[in-house]
Chain A
């Protein structure tokens, strides 16, 4: 039987992050990938709005946490 699929895409991004962008949180990347997966063939404007919300949400939380 065929092999089980693995999430090579997320693995690759995480490898790059953990090697060269350690200050960028892994969860933030995972959220961005998830948004783009949901919008892969859909509305680009909606995807862009969603990404903006993710970034704004993340920076606001970071500021509040300081």
Chain B
């Protein structure tokens, strides 16, 4: 089992000068936390570079110009780029130390990388370095140890039977689980069977049957050889197309963001068109409501005259009442001049006349004027009432106005978004995106075609091998045949069949084991309690099973991440090759509860987990509590300058 003991960097990326990162010999989790730009991905790349000698960019493409990885400040000071990545680890009971050093070399002082590997303190030859490292952690499976969460999407491809990315990942999964051991054994035994078959055919007697068998075996051998060559050629072509497809996929991945922006801009343009129609309709509604409620504009102008008229009318009505009383008084005096109309006591005739004259004079004048004025006020109030706003129409108009304002504001937002998207898309070639998509389709079609040819060829090959085996068996039993060759042929034939059968059973067993281990981890990490288990397919893709027995479709990004983590842990637990897991940017798409549960489940995935996260990505206090003694170290990446980070110790 592989275990890291120490990483030393010198002038690698922002890690200026010599910096050391020792790892605890206790099982558990190491946190390495830093803000964006502090060098987490560089640190992740340092592990990969030490072990497989390659650096990959965010797009998944290998970086060829390693001088870019040298610390800029040091390179400026000394006048040339240089760096060192040094990883100490244990494996199979031995202590290893790999150093990869970039420094000027040769007559031109060109930057050159030199690798040094020691085992138990003894240096290995240059030729032995990469094969030795490859045996410890083959490149094809390094992704299960050095896990970049940014590339999670490829795990979803395992659910798609026709996906080329899924095919490649499935091969890598089978590699980590050890399937090629059996496949190689089967292939080597088949080659040996062919050799024995040739030897048997060569030693048959020259009688009629012997000669016939010899000729048939030789024909079959030639045919099998031709088919094997064709198969090899097809495999090479498939590898080449897969490589090209992979390159196109990587380029597409670079364009992925642009493609998303294009999709987003198209959607925003459609939204904008819809808003323009809605605004036009809303404006028409507003105009109609405004025409029906024009008098709202007069509301304040009408309010005051109405109040004045109403007050005047009240006053006039009071005076009319008084005039009416006076008129009745006059009538009473006319009828009974000797009596006071109020107290009905006798009244002096002269005084009575005086009273009648006075009341008659004022009443005749006032009552008429009052009646006229009251009539005028009535008309004025009627006229003003016609101009007063209708409250329901006013409310409707206000609603229309608000709707129009809202739509106009949405359109402004939309215009702004489209402007932003156009700015981001300024340097993107839509033609190039379309060209890549076309290449992707072409290579996929070619690959499908080659794979069909391969399947047909393999079928024919299997039949011919079977016939060759039967003929060889018959030839080996002919009189005079070498019994040891016959025994060897019989044994090798059985071994070939045994290996073929073992491959099928081992694959089936592995799928069950990976499913069981992944489900165990998934149940620790998921927080949707209605999700019961994971179910594996032939490609090692994992479906989530709901408690009602159905498969969960349309998984969220967070769920996808939890499933990928479960698969990682399951592969580690079921693998023929085991080691530490280094995870870069683990929590990007997860909510707090998932983060907490994943952190708590980390120790179940591997004995040594190194987690690279940015500050604030998870609740460190909570994580300390949840992990307890299984949190073996905490490091921080501290900014000294924009080009200089120091590795610090938190605890």
Residues of A bordering B, CB below 8 Å: 1-3, 5, 8-9, 12-13, 15-17, 20-21, 23-24, 28-29, 32-33, 36-37, 39-42, 44, 47-48, 51-52, 55-56, 58-60, 62-63
Contact = CB atoms under 8 A, between A and B. Distances in A.
Contact of A8 (B499, B509, B572, B605): B509
3 residue pairs, one from A and one from B, having the closest CB atoms: A51-B188, A12-B506, A13-B502
B369 interface: no
Contacts of A24: 491, 494-495, 498
A60 B491 CA distance: 12
A48 B192 contact: yes
Which of B484, B498, B509, B575: most chain A Cβ within 10 A?
B498
B131 interface: yes
Contacts of B191: 48
A52 B509 contact: no
Contact of B181 (A3, A5, A9, A62): A9
A16 B501 contact: yes
Contacts of B509: 8, 12
Interface residues of B, number: 46
Given A1-B27, A40-B180, A8 B574 contact: yes
Which of B181, B487, B572: most chain A Cβ within 10 A?
B181
A24 B510 CA distance: 24
A47 B190 CA distance: 13
A48 B492 CA distance: 13
B498 A20 contact: yes
Interface in B522-557: none
A55 B488 contact: yes
> Is chain A's binding surface mostly helix, strand, loop or mixed?
helix
Contacts of A55: 189, 192, 488, 491-492, 495
Contacts of B569: 2
> Is chain B's binding surface mostly helix, strand, loop or mixed?
helix
Interface string B82-121: 0000000000000000000000000000000000000000
A41 B182 contact: no
Given A12-B506, A32-B185, A63-B484, A51 B192 contact: yes
14 contacts: A2-B569, A9-B182, A13-B502, A16-B498, A16-B502, A21-B494, A32-B495, A36-B182, A36-B185, A37-B576, A40-B135, A41-B135, A52-B195, A60-B484
Interface of B: 27, 131, 134-135, 138, 178, 180-182, 184-185, 188-189, 191-192, 195, 484, 487-488, 491-492, 494-495, 497-499, 501-502, 505-506, 509-510, 513, 517, 569, 572-576, 578, 603-607
Given A2-B573, A62-B487, A39 B184 contact: yes
A63 B341 CA distance: 162
A27 to B, nearest CB: 13
A59 B482 CA distance: 13
Contacts of B182: 9, 13, 33, 36
B65 to A, nearest CB: 28
Given A8-B509, A59-B488, A36 B603 contact: no
Contact of A36 (B188, B501, B506, B574): B188
A47 to B, nearest CB: 6
Contacts of B505: 12, 15-16
Nearest to A39: B184
A57 to B, nearest CB: 11
Given A16-B502, A24-B498, A51-B189, A5 B573 contact: yes
Contacts of B497: 21
Given A9-B178, A12-B505, A47-B184, A1 B604 contact: yes
